[in-house]
Amino acid sequence: MLQMVLQGCVGTTVNQGPLEVAQVFLSDIPDDPKLYRHHNKLRLCFKDFTKRCEDALKKNKALIGPDQREYQRELERNYNKLKEALSPLINRKIPQLYRSLPAQSAQTQLERSWAEKAERIPRRKEARISNAPQTTFLSGDFFCGASVLPIPPVIFVQSNAPLMRKTNLE
């Protein structure tokens, strides 16, 4: 079964499939900045795809008998050709995503890190008002458009609105 999957991924008659998809969607960096994230995500998927093919080839090599060694060498040659063809596409990054930013303090970098983590919190629409004035305990994702101060385990959220905080990261 593993050999059939490998043949479909790296075989000479079929590898045009993954290679063609990569060439169509990754050959040009999109003009629209809204597409950068999707372009980069696909690039990383192909990077992962080549790594998994390599791992599968190693596993297959350990499992096959002496009568299948030539077929294994052919799969490895095809994999190397595919990897070589994909390499310029998956190793090229979108320069706009990696441009140098103005010098920022460690606090600002931590704020950005916490903001990214806050985006992954499941979205719930409930909040409880605490006794302290201008403080709200959040039990869901209310981080839209706000910067997050990194003070674990409590996250304080600054915005134009009153100070808000999330007391647990459930």
Q: What is the pLDDT of residue 99?
A: 57
76 membership: H or E segment, kind and range: helix 69-90
Q: What is the pLDDT of residue 28?
A: 87
Q: What is the pLDDT of residue 162?
A: 47
Task: Walk me through the domains of the chain, giving residue ranges and CATH numbers.
Answer: 2-98 (1.20.58.740), 106-166 (no CATH)
Q: What is the pLDDT of residue 134?
A: 42
Q: What is the pLDDT of residue 36?
A: 87
Q: What is the pLDDT of residue 34?
A: 86
Burial of 79 (0-12, 13-18, 19+ CB in 10 A): buried
To which residue do tokens 């806050």 refer? Answer: 118
Q: What is the pLDDT of residue 27?
A: 87
Strand order in the sheet with 127-129: 127-129, 136-138, 164-166, 155-158, 147-149
- Residue 164 CB partners (closer than 8 Å, separation 6+): 135, 136, 138, 142, 146, 156, 157
Q: What is the pLDDT of residue 32?
A: 86
Q: What is the pLDDT of residue 98?
A: 58
The predicted-structure confidence for 102-125, as pLDDT tens digits, reads as follows 444 555 665 666 666 666 665 544
The reported pTM is 0.54
| pLDDT beneath 50, residues of the chain | 101-104, 124-170
Position 68, amino acid: Q
- Centroid of chain to Cα 33: 17
